Amino acid sequence: MKWFLVALVGGTVFATGCAGAHVEITARQSRYAISMSPVVRDSAGRLYDRHSLEVVGALHTDRTRLGFVYSAFTPLSTFDISDAVNTQVAAVAGEAVVDLRVSTSDGCDVLNNFFLFNFLPIWPGCVPVTVTGDIVRRRTPNDASSRMREPQ
């Protein structure tokens, strides 16, 4: 009975393992406002929503990070999106990024599906991270859709 319990616990630990990586997303050097919601403030603090913004492009950047020792050690764990934001927003003459979304995928199944090795601290885990969002700018007062909303 004792061997059965040890085999059951050991088998569970062996089969479930722990693979992955720790990733921190930053944008400390971004020259543009970034919002995870559909609204954004300008430098004066005024709030702009979807009705006062026009989408001029899409932000897309991604990275894959490896983690070791059950994700405790992830080299290059900080994913700074500043350069991607600055380049992509400037390319379409935008002013901000709204609806920023961060997602992970199962693109590292090659490493993560070796469940027999995942319990080993030296076996790498892998996390592909994708950051997307809408690049926007303020609508101009001459915009036809803005004129339609003005009071008569």
Rounded CA-CA distance 39/45 in Å is 12
pLDDT tens sequence across 9-64:
655 555 555 556 667 889 999 999 999 999 999 888 899 998 999 999 999 999 88
User: The whole model's pTM is what?
Assistant: 0.72
Residue 68, strand partner residues: 73
Contact 41, 104 (CB under 8 A): no
138-146 CB contacts, 8 Å cutoff, 24+ apart: 138/42, 138/48, 138/52, 138/53, 138/54, 138/95, 139/52, 139/53, 139/54, 143/54, 146/52
At 85, phi and psi to the nearest 5? -65, -50
Higher pLDDT, residue 105 or 40: 40
At 50, phi and psi to the nearest 5? -60, -30
